[in-house]
Amino acid sequence: MVSATPLVMGHYQYRKAKNLLMMGLTIFATVITLIPLFLILGYLLYKGASSLNLAFFTKLPTPVGEAGGGMANAIVGTFELVLIACLIGVPIGVGAGIYVAEHRGSQLANAVRFAADVMMGVPSIVVGIFAYALVVRPMAGFSSIAGSVALATIMIPLVTRTTEEMVLLVPHELREASLALGVPRWRTTISIVARTAMGGIATGVILATARIAGETAPLLFTAFGNRFWSTSLTGPVASLPVQIYTYAISPFADWQRQAWAGALVLTGIVLALELGVRAVTGGQTRTPR
Partner 1 sequence: MTGREARRSEFGVRLFGDRIFGLSTLGLALVVLGLIIALAMVLIQASALSLYQFGPHFLISSDWDPVNDLYGALPFIYGTAGSATLALTIAVPLSLGVALCLSELAPAWLKRPIAFLVELLAAIPSVVYGLWAIFVMGPWLRDHIEPLLARSMGFLPLFKGPHTSVSMFSAGVILAVMVIPYISSVCTDVFAVVPQSQREAALALGATKWEMVRLSVLPPSISGVVGAIILGLGRALGETIAVAMVIGNSASISASLFAPASTLASVIANEFAEATTTMYQSALIELGLVLMAVAIILNIVARLLVGATRRRVGVR
Report the site for partner 1 in 147-176 (rule: CB under 8 A): 153, 156-157, 160
> Residue 255, interface with partner 1 (CB under 8 A)?
no
> Residue 138, interface with partner 1 (CB under 8 A)?
no
Q: With the CA atoms of 89, 91, 95 and 96 taken in that order, what torsion angle do they form, in degrees rounded to the nearest 10? A: -10
> Residue 9, interface with partner 1 (CB under 8 A)?
no
Query: φ and ψ at 12, to 5 degrees?
Result: -65, -45
Please give the residues from 207 up to 226 whose contact with partner 1 meets the rule CB under 8 A.
210, 213-217, 220-221, 224
Residues touching partner 1, count (CB under 8 A): 93
Please give the residues from 50 up to 79 whose contact with partner 1 meets the rule CB under 8 A.
none
First CA to last CA across the chain, in angstroms? 56
Q: Which stretch binds partner 1 (CB under 8 A): 57-65, 68-76, 172-180, 258-266?
A: 258-266
Residue 230: CB atoms within 10 A of its CB come to 18
- Cβ partners under 8 Å of residue 231, min gap 6: 76, 77, 80, 144, 237
Please give the residues from 188 up to 207 whose contact with partner 1 meets the rule CB under 8 A.
189-190
Give 187 or 195: the residue with its C-beta nearer to partner 1. 187
Q: How far apart are CA 144 and CA 146, in angstroms?
A: 5
> Residue 272, interface with partner 1 (CB under 8 A)?
no
> Residue 120, interface with partner 1 (CB under 8 A)?
yes
> Residue 8, interface with partner 1 (CB under 8 A)?
no
Q: Which stretch binds partner 1 (CB under 8 A): 49-57, 62-70, 86-94, 198-206?
A: 86-94
Q: Which of 49, 233, 271, 280 binds partner 1 (CB under 8 A)?
A: 271
Residue pair 212/151 in contact (Cβ under 8 Å)? The answer is yes
Q: How far apart are CA 38 and CA 36, in angstroms?
A: 5
- Map 31-82 to HEC letters: HHHHHHHHHHHHHHHHHHHHHCCHHHHHCCECCCCCCCECCHHHHHHHHHHH
Q: Which of 51, 62, 196, 287 binds partner 1 (CB under 8 A)?
A: 287
Residue pair 244/255 in contact (Cβ under 8 Å)? The answer is no
Q: Which of 36, 65, 105, 138 binds partner 1 (CB under 8 A)?
A: 36
